[in-house]
A and B are shown apart, each in its own frame.
Chain A
Amino acid sequence: MTGFWIALAVVVVLVGLYLSQTAGRLDRLHHRVDTGLANLDVQLLRRSGAVLDIASSGLIDPASSMVLADAAANARSGIADPIDRAQRESDLTRALAAVLGSREDVEALSSTEVGAELVDSLAGAVHRTEMSRRFYNDAVRATLQVRRQRLVRWFRLAGSAPWPRTVEMDDTIPAGLAGR
């Protein structure tokens, strides 16, 4: 009989260790998800900011300016969560692809010193956006993998933390900016 109790105690301790360890892991993963999303948000805002700068620079034609300004303003208007404004950000990507889709367009714009600076800061922003989203989605996938485990669900190890969602948007680098 004593043997049974000892075995039970060992099992309880082991399960307890496993649970507390997994809880710590989940905590770290959620932290990575949170900072990842905050980072993506910053990069998206920098991107739309850089687009607005170009639109108002007077260095590109007025029609292109309007297309860019509209898409950028739309992306910046009021939706705080990047997940919810993914559609608008994708539209901005499409507008960028249309306006800065060729090397010639970009080279024409960067022929002046001011233009070159604007292009550089936009190029940096679109590349960083693409990386941030990839890193964030990576963190989400890793977190979901742990949260789907049975023990994690049964013991509610994730507490009341909402299930993280990936950001699905088009962040293709416009052909004119690739490699810059």
Chain B
Amino acid sequence: MRVGLVCPYDWAAPGGVKAHITDLACALMESGHEVSVLAPWDGGDDVEIEPWVVTAGRPLAVPYNGSVARVSFGMVTAGRVRRWVKDGEFDVVHVHEPASPSLSMLACWVSDGPLVATWHSSQDRSRAMSVAYNLVQTAMEKISGRIAVSEKARQTLVKMIGGDAVLIPNGVTCKNFAVGGPLPGFPRQGGTILFLGRIDEPRKGLQVLLAAMPAILLDYPDLTLLVAGPGDTKDIQESLPEAVREHVQFLGLISEADKVSAFKSSDLYIAPNTGGESFGIVLLEAMASGTPVVASDIEAFAEVLEGGDAGVLFANEDSDALAERVVQVLGDAPERERLRVEGHRRALEFDWEKVSRDVERVYESVVIPGVKVEADLSGQFWGRFG
């Protein structure tokens, strides 16, 4: 099968949706399909990209849905999407996050034929959606197979455009997290905990963890907090009390391989996200690496951690509770071992091999033999009235 995947967010920036598409593309290619990914690209011209990725121009940073989204839109971009669809001769086009104002929505808009869409995030029906409802609806109505990665994402979809979806969770390529060792100088005595994610994005919850640090340091005075993720560290470093600052090590944006090493260097992975997450893929990655997880008890995380069996939960946005749980687990080696085993078992349930097979089944149930996805002129402005 020839499959076209569309990523709405910058391919140069790491993120859950990008990781999902990368893994899905690899899993599909491994089972013999031909895959092309269309994505915005802001990584410069001289950077090597995967040969199966087609870029659709530079994304723009716009405030959207309570956060800053880096997305692509506009008539020029729509033209690029149309060309990609036309040249691709796909049996199915699979767009991700079609409700975000970016490439995926455009891909729905300009294509005609078997379309599959995956909803990743949970969001309330936005005002933007109501205003542009008519146009958005036209794009959405063409989707014949809908997938949601979690119950929450499914509810979002139902609220936003009605109808139903099949539930296929996110996957994790477990074998990628089984290899590799810790970072140089790790593991070390005194305890190491890890935070991953944009440091200047409040919903990732770094501020919750930093506020818990003084209390944790009382019991573990030699503890190191590794912070890995893009964002400006200067303001954050300056805002930290002297006593905490020397225990926080900023790694900046790290590669996938270094991410595995970071997991393996840490005694605990902390996920203090305060909301906006519909699935905890990073949690599963930590668990596949054998690192126990301490996470906020938002719905998506509680689901992945089986209500606290496969990892530790703390009350969302409560730094005291977080500190208490971290101190507890760091001091209990048998419990950490249990979490390691349970976490790994849970991660295997989401292995990509299994997940991609379910996605293939969706493709098979929407493709029409002999019919390719075509560029649809009736989706264009004037075509709408023809």
A residues lining the B interface (CB < 8 Å): 17, 20-21, 24-25, 28-29, 32, 35-36, 38-39, 43, 124, 127-132, 134-135, 137-139, 141-142, 145
Contact = CB atoms under 8 A, between A and B. Distances in A.
Contact of A127 (B163, B165, B358, B386): B358
B252 interface: no
Nearest to B137: A25
Contacts of A130: 166
Interface of B: 114, 138, 141-142, 144-146, 162-166, 358, 361-362, 364-368, 378, 383-386
A26 to B, nearest CB: 10
Nearest to A143: B141
A67 to B, nearest CB: 26
B163 A141 contact: yes
A35 B163 contact: no
Contact of A43 (B138, B365, B368, B386): B365
Nearest to A137: B164
Contacts of A128: 361, 364-365
Main secondary structure on chain B at its contact with chain A?
mixed
Nearest to B369: A42
Contacts of B163: 138, 141-142
30 contacts: A20-B386, A24-B384, A25-B141, A28-B142, A29-B141, A32-B144, A35-B368, A36-B144, A39-B366, A39-B367, A124-B364, A127-B358, A127-B361, A128-B361, A128-B365, A129-B365, A131-B145, A131-B166, A131-B361, A131-B362, A134-B165, A135-B144, A135-B146, A135-B365, A137-B164, A138-B163, A139-B144, A141-B162, A141-B163, A142-B162
B365 A132 contact: yes
Q: Identify which of A43, A129, A132, A139 gathers the most chain B CB atoms within 10 Å of its CB.
A: A132
Contacts of B362: 131
A135 B378 contact: no
Contacts of B146: 135, 138
A138 B164 contact: yes
B348 to A, nearest CB: 12
Given A38-B368, A127-B358, A142-B163, A135 B145 contact: yes
A30 to B, nearest CB: 11
Contacts of A138: 146, 163-164
A142 B141 contact: yes
A134 B378 contact: no
